[in-house]
Structure 1
Amino acid sequence: MSHEYYRRGRNWFTAIGVLFCIMGGIVLIQQLLIWGIDFVEDFLFNAEFTNEKVSVAMIGFGLFMIALGFRKNEQKR
């Protein structure tokens, strides 16, 4: 493969970002299946530090890592 082709997004930033998004999504789906949407909304919007807020933060951090993975990298010559 020549030096002109850069595999954008195929690096560890993207992999870690996808991992965080999947893990946060699994926890949110699990909580929705167990408790239902009304309780999850209550847990998400109350003043306490809850598992649902951590899951949303994990998804946000995952999206940030994916965005970092798709930035343009300049190769050194």
Structure 2
Amino acid sequence: MSHEYYRRGKNWFTAIGLLFCVMGGIVLIQQLLIWGIDFVEDFLFNAEFTNEKVSVAMLCFGIFMIALGFRKHEEKR
């Protein structure tokens, strides 16, 4: 292998980001199946602190962590 090739190996940020995305997605899909689109939409856009808003925040945080995991890695010289 050349010295320019970067082997990603185990990436902690991507793993945690994927975990947050999966958990947030499961909760949103569960709420959609139980309550339907209209109720979930009402819960997302009201002024109260609801489970659906936490799930959306978990998805956003997961995407942020995945983006951190895919940043360029520069080895120290």
User: TM over 0.5: same fold?
Assistant: yes
Tell me how far 1:76 sits from its aligned partner: 1.6
| CA distance in structure 2 between the aligned counterparts of 1:4 and 1:39, rounded to whole angstroms | 52
Indicate the larger mover: 28-37 or 9-18: 9-18
Tell me how far 1:39 sits from its aligned partner: 0.3
Q: 1:9 to 1:37 in 2, by over 3 A?
A: farther
Instruction: Give the match's secondary structure for 2:47.
Output: coil
RMSD: 1.7
Runs of 4+ in 1 over 2 A off after TM superposition: 1-5, 7-10
Stretches of structure 1 lacking an aligned partner (at least 5 in a row)? none
Q: Percent identity, aligned pairs only? A: 90
Q: Does 1:20 align with 2:20?
A: yes
Letter in 1 for 2:63: L
- Give the total of aligned pairs: 77
Stretches of structure 2 lacking an aligned partner (at least 5 in a row)? none
| CA distance in structure 2 between the aligned counterparts of 1:9 and 1:37, rounded to whole angstroms | 40
Q: 1:55 to 1:72 in 2, by over 3 A?
A: same
Tell me how far 1:3 sits from its aligned partner: 4.2
| CA distance in structure 1 between the aligned counterparts of 2:49 and 2:69, rounded to whole angstroms | 30
- Give the match for residue 41 of structure 1: 41
Letter in 2 for 1:4: E
